[in-house]
């Protein structure tokens, strides 16, 4: 059949149902996506690398199987963030150093998705090595916000978020260390879900996955891969096909007995919800704080107790900044030594900062992290859910590399403005950004919902109930909007 533009407006869950009933085929979906990308991506630059020939070859293999014998995604197309290698497809990490790299094998997460009959058709743009929450790089340029194309889409999963918001994807992958699933979801009015470490396997699946001079560290407890979609049920659909143990990732977990789609359908409400405007660690734009507080109070309409509270996160900067610097040093010191001229300043700063650290610094932050985790666990003994702004500002001009100051506060470095997100990263708890509303300039604002330990199922259920109440998920996909005159 010819490309069907009406399919673009459907949810992933609706499209998945059409695949299972054989009313459409995976090839039909690829035709529709290819036409939509040709129509709108020139205005936003979300999906710079396409692999439709590979996708159609894989779709034809899936179509040879009876529907009942197909994997869980049954041929659903999926866009993959350009930090995750896909076998045979150009993978750049947003870096000119790897602008021509083509991996022999895929990342663990991609292998699991394709084992579940996902069809990969595109790579989504990302900042260099995912560093910095504004999606631009020297290979492909900047990805812009479809709600106002003069604005940033945040990052580092910005290409995925924009592809979803503009109807160039039904499902997309992202990754998150300092908020990279949650920040672009907030800026683009879609849903970004950060699972617990180990829930989604990630990292090199074998030789040929990563270039020899770029290290990936499987088994680390902070950076995770996760799903992005236009609504919560679609995120659950994708998460079901991302989870599971992979032998190359030592902390990856077996698939849970209950599916996340079923958890959403169970409609389980949290009993007691906490809201914080700032976690006590960061300034927040007043309009963002007001929008998120109003959104949080809507849980009262669902019958929940909502109180102002948050764990003690006061030592967040020392813990996170020290650990992040060590991670950059381990994985990219060789690049600094040999190809410094091709690295952006923020990456260089992160690597060099670790050279000043000592074993005593490492011991200090590890002990502090233990106390941090204990305080967070005690907090969730009393509360089922913790809410906050997902980001501290509305979308800002795309030419601005990062948020350097807010009000009278000047941030110490290019990632400190993300504190409200990485405060949760350090707990290891699952979190999701869902749309909270819009500023007076009609720019999206996201609400962060945090579940308790290994609390993905209950978190998705609560997020879905909130989403149904607000109706914000019905506002995408949209055609890219030029800035107002």
pLDDT for residue 147:
98
pLDDT for residue 1:
58
Q: Strand 171-176 to strand 144-145: parallel, antiparallel, or no bridges (unpaired)?
A: unpaired
pLDDT for residue 73:
98
pLDDT tens-digit readout, 323-366: 999 999 999 999 999 999 999 999 999 999 998 899 999 999 99
pLDDT for residue 33:
98
Which helix or strand (DSSP H or E) is residue 119 part of?
Answer: strand 119-124
Nearest to 142 by CA among 94, 192, 86: 94
Where does residue 144 rank: exposed (0-12), middle (13-18), buried (19+ CB within 10 A)? buried
pLDDT for residue 87:
98
Contact between residue 465 and residue 269 where contact means Cβ atoms under 8 Å apart: yes
In this structure, what token pair is assigned to residue 116? 């579940």
Q: Note the pTM of the prediction, 2 decimals.
A: 0.98
SS3 (DSSP) at 231: coil
Q: Report residues of the chain scoring pLDDT below 70.
A: 1
pLDDT tens-digit readout, 278-320: 999 999 999 999 999 999 999 999 999 999 999 999 999 999 9
pLDDT for residue 217:
74
Which helix or strand (DSSP H or E) is residue 295 part of?
Answer: helix 286-297
pLDDT for residue 195:
98
> Whole-angstrom Cα distance, residue 59 to residue 57?
5
pLDDT for residue 358:
94
> Whole-angstrom Cα distance, residue 74 to residue 81?
21
> Whole-angstrom Cα distance, residue 430 to residue 412?
27
Nearest to 212 by CA among 381, 312, 98: 98
pLDDT for residue 170:
98
> Whole-angstrom Cα distance, residue 425 to residue 74?
32
Residues 6+ apart with CB under 8 A from 194: 176, 181, 182, 224, 226, 424, 425, 430, 431, 432
pLDDT for residue 414:
96
pLDDT for residue 257:
85
> Residues 260, 308, 464, CA angle at the centre, nearest 5°?
20
> Whole-angstrom Cα distance, residue 436 to residue 429?
21
| Cβ-based neighbour number of residue 279 at 10 Å | 22
All structural domains of the chain: 11-475 (3.90.1300.10)
């Amino acid at each position: 059949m010819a490309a069907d533009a009406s399919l673009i407006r459907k949810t992933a869950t609706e499209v998945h149902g059409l695949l299972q009933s054989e009313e459409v085929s995976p090839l039909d979906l690829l035709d529709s996506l290819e036409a939509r990308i040709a129509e709108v991506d020139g205005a936003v630059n979300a999906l710079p690398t396409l692999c439709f020939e590979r996708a159609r070859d894989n779709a034809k293999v899936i179509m040879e199987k009876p529907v009942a014998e197909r994997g869980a995604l049954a041929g659903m197309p999926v866009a993959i963030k350009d930090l995750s290698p896909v076998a045979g497809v150009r993978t750049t990490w947003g870096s000119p150093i790897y602008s021509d790299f083509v991996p022999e094998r895929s990342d663990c997460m991609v292998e699991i998705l394709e084992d579940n009959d996902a069809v990969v058709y595109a790579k989504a743009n990302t900042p260099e090595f995912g560093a910095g929450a504004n999606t631009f790089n020297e290979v492909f340029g900047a990805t812009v916000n479809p709600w106002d194309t003069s604005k940033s889409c945040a990052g580092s999963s910005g290409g995925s978020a924009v592809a979803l918001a503009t109807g160039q994807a039904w499902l997309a992958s992202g990754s998150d260390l300092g908020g990279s699933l949650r920040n672009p979801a907030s800026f683009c009015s879609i849903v970004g879900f950060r699972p617990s470490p180990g829930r989604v396997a990630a990292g090199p699946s074998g030789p040929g996955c990563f270039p020899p001079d770029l290290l990936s560290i499987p088994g680390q407890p902070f950076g995770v891969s996760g799903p992005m979609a236009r609504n919560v049920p679609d995120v659950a659909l994708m998460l079901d096909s991302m989870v599971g143990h992979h032998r190359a990732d030592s902390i990856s977990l077996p698939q849970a007995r209950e599916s996340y789609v079923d958890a959403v359908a169970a409609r389980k409400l949290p009993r007691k919800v906490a809201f914080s405007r700032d976690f006590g660690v960061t300034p927040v734009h007043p309009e963002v704080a007001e929008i998120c507080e109003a959104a949080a109070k809507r849980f009262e309409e669902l019958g929940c107790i909502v109180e102002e509270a948050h764990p003690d996160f006061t030592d967040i900067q020392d813990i996170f900044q020290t650990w992040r610097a060590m991670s950059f040093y381990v994985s990219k010191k060789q690049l600094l030594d040999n190809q410094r001229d091709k690295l952006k300043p923020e990456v260089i700063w992160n690597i060099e900062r670790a050279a000043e650290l000592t074993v005593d610094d490492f011991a200090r932050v590890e002990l502090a992290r233990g106390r941090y985790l204990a305080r967070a666990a005690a907090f969730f003994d009393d509360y089922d859910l913790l809410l906050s702004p997902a980001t501290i500002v509305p979308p800002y001009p795309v030419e601005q590399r990062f948020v350097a100051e807010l009000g009278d506060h000047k941030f110490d470095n290019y990632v400190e403005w993300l504190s409200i997100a990485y405060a949760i990263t350090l707990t290891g708890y699952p979190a999701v950004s869902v749309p909270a509303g819009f500023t007076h300039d009609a720019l999206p604002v996201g609400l962060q919902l945090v579940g308790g330990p290994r609390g993905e199922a209950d978190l998705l259920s609560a997020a879905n109930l909130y989403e149904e109440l607000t109706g914000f998920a019905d506002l995408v996909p949209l055609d890219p909007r030029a800035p107002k005159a």
